[in-house]
Amino acid sequence: MGRTQRTRSRKKSSQFVQNMDHEETLINLRKFLARNGCNDEVNLKLRNFPQTGRGLATTKNLHENDILIKVPYDLMITYATLKRLNFLQIFTPSSKLTIQDLLTTFLIFERHKNDSFWRDYITSLPSHPPWLPALLSEHHCELLPVDLRLAAKKSRRLLEESWSRVKGSIKQGWTCSCCGMKVDRVFDLHSFTWGFILVNTRAVYVDPGVVGEGGGGVLSDEPCMALCPFLDMFNHSDKAKCSAELKYEEGKLFYQLTTLTSYKKYEQVFISYGGHDNVKLLMEYGFFIPGNCNDCISIQSEEVFRVLRLGLGEGQYRFINRHDLNKELFVGESGPSFNLKGFLFVASSSASEVKDFASVVYTDSYPEEFLKSEMKDMCRKLLLCEMAKVEESLRGLKVLKVNSVIIDFLNCRHDFIKKLCEML
Ligand SMILES: C[S@@+](CC[C@H](N)C(=O)[O-])C[C@H]1O[C@@H](n2cnc3c(N)ncnc32)[C@H](O)[C@@H]1O
């Protein structure tokens, strides 16, 4: 058992699942749902779980294909909601904003109102959003291994760009018609960060084709994100399988979630946010799963050259580039990715040895010697180098005051790399 798992087991054994259904905000959320025609098909209970935080438990055995929840489309916050409520009027007509910008701004706007229709939903949302690496300072970011650093910087850039687009798009001199509050009192960076992260971590995908919500106007992308009360209480598991669909029933549109995994009575019910590795989960949602079956370690192509001291002839270079073999380089539990395997094979061969790389790479007919020893040795060297980077990063970050999630994540990554080396 690795360090991260040990810490988690200790935490787990000292904590219990807590019932949250008596909390006023959650009672109000249920009343809001019931008032608006949302029936809880399986009687899901809100609980605080030691490992995942707040989530949903079932009070009966659930089988494959059981419906988890059906939320009326009218209860969701979609692009159509914003249009229907004339919310888009607060922006200048020439604005170009993404659906994420718009949902974030709407959420903040509704939160500041006393009489919002979504008040009970909004007060059930976490007052502090999950911590994401996008919130790391520039200096702390620099201490991360390169793939994490790039991903954290990209997430921060997206947040900053969104904030600057929204700030620059609200009509000059706008004040709230319900309370007279000025624009910068309703929307400031702090509230924007809250809204942006909540939309990012909780929005569901809606097919704009199904709901007939054409973009246009201020919208610069597809209106394919929406907030869905209560349904956004499900936590993610790499083992969970579920399906989501928008469907009409008796002329009314619903967003329906069906589980494709069975659960025992009182267990936490999970859904899948996608087949994400731990870096993606950390960057987008602020958590990771030790032992995540979708996890892998990414390797930068420059690192392959640097660590393995490889140089490419013209033919090898052309082949790798033409077939995009320098992208999607990673090692997972099933070994190196298709591209990494091909990349290593081409880059480590002398051009005169193998003339037709394609016939080897695309028929998976690598020489025994390459598969049994050369490839494994090269992967091991690359992984050990990634491990050293994690250790260096941990040394740097531990002496600084950084969020413990990133330290736990790096410890978990360290254990995972060690496991991958042993599996090779
Ligand atoms: C859609 S919300 C799920 C409900 C959320 N736990 C809550 O209390 O409102 C997504 C967020 O839940 C948390 N989460 C989801 N799955 C998790 C898991 N397996 N382990 C830890 N946290 C998880 C993360 O903070 C994520 O950003």
Model pLDDT for residues 79-103, shown as the tens digit of each residue: 999 999 999 999 999 999 999 999 9
| Ligand 1 atom index nearest CA of 202 | 1
User: How many whole angstroms separate alpha carbon 5 and alpha carbon 264?
Assistant: 24
The whole-number average pLDDT for the span 289-296 is 97
Q: What are the Cα distances from residue 284, in Å, to 150, 196, 278, 280, 393?
A: 13, 11, 10, 6, 21
Q: Whose CA is nearest to atom 20 of ligand 1?
A: 52
| Ligand 1 atom index nearest CA of 232 | 1
* pLDDT of residue 330 exceeding 70: yes
Phi, psi of 234 (to 5 degrees): -75, 130
Beta carbons within 10 angstroms of residue 354's beta carbon: 16
* pLDDT of residue 31 exceeding 80: yes
User: How many whole angstroms separate alpha carbon 223 and alpha carbon 221?
Assistant: 7
Query: How would residue 354 be classed by pLDDT, with cut points 50, 70 and 90?
Result: low
| Ligand 1 atom index nearest CA of 234 | 3
Residue 41 alpha carbon to ligand 1 centre in Å: 22
The pLDDT score that the predictor gives to residue 328 is 96
The pLDDT score that the predictor gives to residue 401 is 82
Q: Which residues line ligand 1 (CB under 6 A)?
A: 52-55, 126, 130, 201-202, 232-233, 235-237, 285-287, 289
* pLDDT of residue 214 exceeding 90: no
| Ligand 1 atom index nearest CA of 124 | 9
Residue 121 alpha carbon to ligand 1 centre in Å: 16
Residue 201 alpha carbon to ligand 1 centre in Å: 8
Q: What is the SS3 string spanning 17-69?
A: CEECCCCHHHHHHHHHHHHCCCCCCCCEEEEEECCCEEEEEECCCECCCCEEE
Residue 235 alpha carbon to ligand 1 centre in Å: 5
Q: Whose CA is nearest to atom 12 of ligand 1?
A: 235
The pLDDT score that the predictor gives to residue 198 is 98
Q: What is the pLDDT of residues 51-84, one digit of tens each?
A: 999 999 999 999 999 999 999 999 999 999 999 9
The whole-number average pLDDT for the span 134-147 is 93
Beta carbons within 10 angstroms of residue 421's beta carbon: 18
Q: Whose CA is nearest to atom 9 of ligand 1?
A: 233
Q: Whose CA is nearest to atom 26 of ligand 1?
A: 285
Contacts of 367 (CB under 8 A, 6+ apart): none
Q: Whose CA is nearest to atom 25 of ligand 1?
A: 130
Q: Which secondary-structure segment (H or E) carries 418?
A: helix 404-423
Q: Whose CA is nearest to atom 22 of ligand 1?
A: 52
Could you tell which of 17, 46, 285 is best to mutate to test the pocket of ligand 1, judged by most ligand atoms within 8 Å of the CB?
Answer: 285
Residue 52 alpha carbon to ligand 1 centre in Å: 7
414: tokens are 């360290």
* pLDDT of residue 352 exceeding 70: no
* pLDDT of residue 175 exceeding 80: yes
Q: What are the Cα distances from residue 275, in Å, to 10, 238, 240, 419?
A: 28, 7, 10, 20
- Report the candidate in 183, 224, 180 with the shortest Cα–Cα distance to residue 204: 224
Query: How would residue 11 be classed by pLDDT, with cut points 50, 70 and 90?
Result: very low
* pLDDT of residue 43 exceeding 90: no
Provide the residue ranges of all domains of the chain, joining segments of one domain with +: 3-75+229-285, 79-226, 296-423
Residue 51 alpha carbon to ligand 1 centre in Å: 10
Q: Whose CA is nearest to atom 27 of ligand 1?
A: 285
* pLDDT of residue 243 exceeding 50: yes
User: How many whole angstroms separate alpha carbon 262 and alpha carbon 317?
Assistant: 49
The whole-number average pLDDT for the span 341-364 is 86
Long-range contacts of 333-342 (CB under 8 A, 24+ apart): 333/293, 333/295, 333/296, 333/420, 333/423, 335/379, 335/424, 336/375, 336/379, 337/296, 340/299, 340/304, 340/379, 341/366, 341/375
Span of 37-41, 87-91, 129-133, 192-196 with lowest mean pLDDT = 37-41
* pLDDT of residue 258 exceeding 90: yes
Q: Whose CA is nearest to atom 6 of ligand 1?
A: 54
User: How many whole angstroms separate alpha carbon 78 and alpha carbon 91?
Assistant: 17
| Ligand 1 atom index nearest CA of 126 | 9
The whole-number average pLDDT for the span 11-25 is 77
The whole-number average pLDDT for the span 134-157 is 94
Range among 15-24, 350-359, 385-394 rated most confident: 385-394
CATH architecture of 3-75+229-285: Beta Complex (2.170)
Residue 285 alpha carbon to ligand 1 centre in Å: 7
Contacts of 360 (CB under 8 A, 6+ apart): 345, 354, 366
Could you tell which of 54, 123, 236, 276 is best to mutate to test the pocket of ligand 1, judged by most ligand atoms within 8 Å of the CB?
Answer: 236
Q: How far does CA 206 lie from the centroid of its chain?
A: 17
Q: What percent of the chain has pLDDT over 90?
A: 84
The pLDDT score that the predictor gives to residue 46 is 95
User: How many whole angstroms separate alpha carbon 246 and alpha carbon 70?
Assistant: 9
The pLDDT score that the predictor gives to residue 351 is 60
Q: What is the pLDDT of residues 116-134, one digit of tens each?
A: 999 999 999 999 999 999 9
Q: Let me know: does 215 contact 223? Beta carbons within 8 Å.
A: yes
* pLDDT of residue 226 exceeding 50: yes
